Structure 1
Amino acid sequence: MDDHRTAFLKASWVNVVTNVLKIAVEGGLGLAFGSLALVADAAHSVADLLASAVVLVWGRLSFEGPDADHPHGHDRFEPLTALFVGGTLVLLGLKLLFDAWRAIRSAPESHYSVFLAVGLGFAFVDRLFCYWYTKRVNRVVESPGLSALVADSKNDLYTTAAAVVGVAGMAAGTPVLDPLAGALVSLLVIRQGVEVSRENVDYLVDTAAPERVREEIRDEILAHDDVHGVHDFTAYHAGTVLEVEFHAEVDAEHSFVEAHDIETELRNALVSREDVGDVHVHLDPAGLGEWKDADEDRPSPTGN
């Protein structure tokens, strides 16, 4: 866990630093030569910088263990962080779209310079490196916060490509392409924000695990030699991990110690999964009329 935390912090800092550099280069050149496409791309990076800072500050809390105020740990901090990122991107995209529309309706005033092309080249390399590094780290860390930043960096490549169209239009004597490119950038920003928000809302509202995952967990429970059936089974998100609750049906002849051992084995087996955070097991003995999901291939514990 300490290694994951260190890798998470490094990737977060890489996102912060690369965004600062991109903002300085693109923003300065865009303002100097009147390129709305570059200004929009730089403004997008301002949101990226805010998102990176939030992930750095809040996201690292998810690596903290349970405490008196958070008995189930801090797993909800990361989706909360990513949701903030998504909402910020949507608002910023709408603002940029409005600015682009206003510029299209008026006569765009922009002046092409080779420095604009150099700035775009720098921005593209900057975001490509950030995307590659963050994605590589997140293959191990599997952080929703970093996943949001990976998606953000990937979309940055598209927005920078759109800005290239705008600058190319300036070079060709068609300055209206610059605000049009800015509008395209805005739409990409809005789309990204909606996707990130939708994914992390599911984490925060205790959405059930996908059916495939639920079936996998049920199969693991029923694979135990002493379990004849499962009922009242639920598996739902508690942050980025799953809470699993179920009643396991076992023979009534087991001693209290044996029943305890069965419960412990079931819990340990499920908690060992990377996607499971906590497990709540209730054992039901035979004779209570609750053998709803009993395995037909196994003999009934009552002999019937």
Structure 2
Amino acid sequence: MQDQYSEIRQGEKGAWVSIGAYLVLSAAKLGAGYGFNSEALVADGFNNLTDIIASAAVLIGLRISQKPPDNDHAYGHFRAETIAALVASFIMAMVGVQVLITVARSFFAGEREVPGVLSAVVAIGSAVVMVGVYLYNKRLATRINNQALMAAAKDNLSDALVSTGAAIGIIGSQLGLPWLDPVAALAVGLLICKTAWEIFYSSTHALTDGFDDKKLKTLRYSIERTKGVKSIKDIKARVHGSNVLIDVIVQVDSRLSVVESHRISDEIERLMEHKHNIMSVHVHVEPYMPGAEEEAGKDGTLS
């Protein structure tokens, strides 16, 4: 458990790196966007403002998730990460909609000024910075197996793509296509809303105990091949922050002693930890009844 808390503390570094980068870039983009009349760059700047809030929410969630289990939270506080991400998705959606409304109004504003070329330089520089932040957070999230930080890394990558799109719109305006800048701003607004929806969906899926069916089948396959396991009567899994909790009912030879059955349970727990990095596994052992598996449904539960 201490290793998990140590990994979460390492994850805070990635959140701080993101917040620092977004603070600098949002100020630069908004200043350049308004100064050089680029709607795409202004929209990108507001996008980074929402990213500051989202990264701060991830940081707060990581802090709360480090609290040890207590009487009211026997499994710990790891879901604080997921709740923080859910809150961030609402904030991002609000800003995305506001950007779309602003862009829609600009289409009816008549003649518009061509953005200054320096705004394209700011956008390209921002894209390069965000690619660097993405690579840093991705490596860190992979090393400590932190899903919240990995989601933040994916957001970093989308921000790099948004800045690239803003640069394309600005350069297009310089080439005599002034409509390309608001179109790029429209794309930014849509991408903000898309990212918000993806974070909202994954967060609510986890909070309602949803779990990837393909991953569950992989876990089932591993347990079925554990020495001594005759069959699996039932298996369930759910996400708790960045952790996975498994409940499995295995059937073993009815002639085995309690000690021998317990050894099989220990082997399953070791397998889940070393092969799948799952620390919380609840194994219930039942005697194997020949022919009972024929009555089992396709999902592995008895009818």
* 1:40-59 to 2 correspondences below 5 Å: 40-59=43-62
* 1:286-297 to 2 correspondences below 5 Å: 292-293=292-293
How far 1:173 sits from its partner (Å)?
4.7
Q: 1:85 to 1:277 in 2, by over 3 A?
A: farther
If the length of structure 2 is used for normalisation, what is the TM-score? 0.84
Question: Is the Cα contact below 8 Å between 1:284 and 1:290 reproduced in 2?
Answer: no
Moved more, 218-227 or 39-48: 218-227
The separation in 2 between residues aligned to 1:108 and 1:57, in whole angstroms, is 45
Moved more, 69-78 or 255-264: 255-264
The separation in 1 between residues aligned to 2:290 and 2:207, in whole angstroms, is 32
- 1:86 to 2:100 alignment: no
- 1:20 to 2:23 alignment: yes
Q: Residue 108 of structure 2 corresponds to which residue in structure 1? A: 105
* 1:120-135 to 2 correspondences below 5 Å: 120-135=123-138
How far 1:277 sits from its partner (Å)?
4.1
The separation in 2 between residues aligned to 1:142 and 1:230, in whole angstroms, is 28
How far 1:19 sits from its partner (Å)?
0.2
The separation in 1 between residues aligned to 2:151 and 2:17, in whole angstroms, is 14
- Secondary structure at the aligned position of 2:137 is classed as helix
Q: Residue 258 of structure 1 corresponds to which residue in structure 2? A: 260
Q: State the one-letter code of the partner of 2:126.
A: A
Q: State the one-letter code of the partner of 2:104.
A: W
Q: Residue 300 of structure 2 corresponds to which residue in structure 1? A: none
The separation in 1 between residues aligned to 2:64 and 2:186, in whole angstroms, is 36
The separation in 2 between residues aligned to 1:106 and 1:220, in whole angstroms, is 62
The separation in 2 between residues aligned to 1:253 and 1:237, in whole angstroms, is 35
How far 1:169 sits from its partner (Å)?
4.0
How far 1:184 sits from its partner (Å)?
1.4
How far 1:64 sits from its partner (Å)?
4.4
Q: Residue 4 of structure 1 corresponds to which residue in structure 2? A: 7
Question: Is the Cα contact below 8 Å between 1:54 and 1:81 reproduced in 2?
Answer: yes
Q: Residue 220 of structure 2 corresponds to which residue in structure 1? A: 218
- Secondary structure at the aligned position of 1:207 is classed as coil
The separation in 2 between residues aligned to 1:106 and 1:217, in whole angstroms, is 57
Question: Is the Cα contact below 8 Å between 1:108 and 1:176 reproduced in 2?
Answer: no
The separation in 2 between residues aligned to 1:279 and 1:169, in whole angstroms, is 56
How far 1:244 sits from its partner (Å)?
2.0
The separation in 1 between residues aligned to 2:124 and 2:97, in whole angstroms, is 26
Question: Is the Cα contact below 8 Å between 1:249 and 1:291 reproduced in 2?
Answer: no
How many residue pairs align between the two structures?
291
The separation in 2 between residues aligned to 1:15 and 1:62, in whole angstroms, is 19
Q: Residue 152 of structure 1 corresponds to which residue in structure 2? A: 155
Q: Where in structure 1 are there 5+ consecutive unaligned residues? A: 295-304
Let me know the Cα RMSD of the aligned residues.
2.6
Q: Residue 180 of structure 1 corresponds to which residue in structure 2? A: 183
Q: 1:21 to 1:227 in 2, by over 3 A?
A: same
Q: 1:204 to 1:230 in 2, by over 3 A?
A: same
Percent of matched pairs sharing the same residue: 27
How far 1:116 sits from its partner (Å)?
1.7
For residue 246 of structure 2, the aligned residue among 240, 244, 247 is 244
- Secondary structure at the aligned position of 2:236 is classed as strand
How far 1:273 sits from its partner (Å)?
4.5
Q: State the one-letter code of the partner of 2:221.
A: D
The separation in 2 between residues aligned to 1:180 and 1:60, in whole angstroms, is 39
Question: Is the Cα contact below 8 Å between 2:43 and 2:189 reproduced in 1?
Answer: yes
The separation in 2 between residues aligned to 1:257 and 1:177, in whole angstroms, is 72
Question: Is the Cα contact below 8 Å between 1:81 and 1:145 reproduced in 2?
Answer: no
Q: 1:208 to 1:17 in 2, by over 3 A?
A: closer
Q: State the one-letter code of the partner of 1:219.
A: Y
Moved more, 13-22 or 247-256: 247-256
Question: Is the Cα contact below 8 Å between 1:135 and 1:150 reproduced in 2?
Answer: yes
Q: State the one-letter code of the partner of 1:106.
A: A
Which of the two has higher C-alpha Rg?
1
Question: Is the Cα contact below 8 Å between 2:169 and 2:183 reproduced in 1?
Answer: yes
If the length of structure 1 is used for normalisation, what is the TM-score? 0.84
Question: Is the Cα contact below 8 Å between 2:141 and 2:149 reproduced in 1?
Answer: yes
The separation in 2 between residues aligned to 1:20 and 1:234, in whole angstroms, is 42
Q: Residue 77 of structure 1 corresponds to which residue in structure 2? A: 80
The separation in 2 between residues aligned to 1:215 and 1:190, in whole angstroms, is 32
